[in-house]
Amino acid sequence: MTGANGFIGRGLCGVLADAGKEVRGSVRDSQHIAIKNPACEYFAVGDIDSNTDWVPALNGMDAVVHLAARVHVMRETAVDPLMEFRRVNVEGTKRLARQAVSLGVKRFVYVSSIKVNGQKTTDDSFAADDLPAPQDPYALSKWEAEQVLHQIDRETGLEVVVIRPPLVYGPGVRGNFLRLLRLVDRGLPLPFGSIENRRSLVSVFNLCDLLRICLEHPKACGEVFLIKDGEDLSTAEIIRRIAKAMHRPCRLVRIPVPLLRLAGALIGRGAEADRLCDSLQMDMGKTRVLLDWTPPVSIAEGLERTVEWFLREEKQ
């Protein structure tokens, strides 16, 4: 498992260990492992690119879950962001897959992104077999990595499985979702009361469960799957549910959506404003039917468990 010390990796390590699997995780630097799971053996591989040596981590393994990636950079400093995304997400993935094949690994589960399908939905939800439409360097690099893996699958018989999740939340979450938790906890008025979008999201509990299934399910080979929790929510409803789980007042102010978008653009956060206001819905019918899988954790339980973690950590 690459990215073993990340938000998803830490959760998946526990899930696989509980399922009786021998788990080996790769990290960038073993000196900076925040949480070591005693059930997981760790290997430091350094930077991820076309020269990474994965052999010590791959030796004796039957399957790979590839989580590590260069993700969204809020304050991008790279002269050529696309080149940097490709260096890690495309060339690094290709190197990992090729070395996995040479060492007899049978299955390769790749965690991609729903952004491969596009940035937003209007009338129809995204489906797994839609024509991809990546809109930014990160999404493009994920799509290119998927193509590389499918090509290696065709050439070598490596059993490739691709999963495209939306926003993932849960204990240990960082980024915008953690900022939202802090804003709701402070009881500040939030100007999102007029947003009536619909967004799919997935808890780390459900994502890790599907990853566990995809490591062994015979019908998963060569497929692309979408995943989400059981229902789609508006940005305003997500805030209401977080506030309810926190037992905090929900102070939503109704500001017209065009004004929110304009304000975001004026302060250089137009993309963030768009994500808050736009819809992004997924149809995971293929996942349900082909894998006979449904999310074991409801969105209500997922948010409650995330809030419990947040309150416990913030008050320490």
Q: Among 184, 199, 189, 198, which Cα is nearest to 255's?
A: 189
Q: Per the residue annotation, which of 42, 110, 138, 169 is the catalytic one?
A: 138
HSE of 312, CA atoms in CB hemisphere, 13 A: 8
Strand partners, 233: 199
- Say whether 169 is catalytic: no
Q: Residue 60: exposed, middle, or buried by beta-carbon count in 10 A (0-12, 13-18, 19+)?
A: exposed
Identity of residue 39: A
Which tokens is 216 given? 């062994």
Specify whether the CB–CB gap between 61 and 36 falls below 8 A: no
Rg of the chain over CA atoms, in angstroms? 20
Percentage helix, strand, coil, to 5, in the chain? 45, 15, 40
Q: List the helix and strand counts (H, then E) for the chain.
A: 12, 10
Q: Among 258, 279, 281, 277, which Cα is nearest to 192's?
A: 277
* SS3 label, residue 121: strand
Which tokens is 270 given? 């137009």
* Tally of CB atoms within 10 A around 150: 16
Cα 303 to Cα 192: distance, rounded to the nearest angstrom: 19
* Tally of CB atoms within 10 A around 236: 19
Active site residues: 138
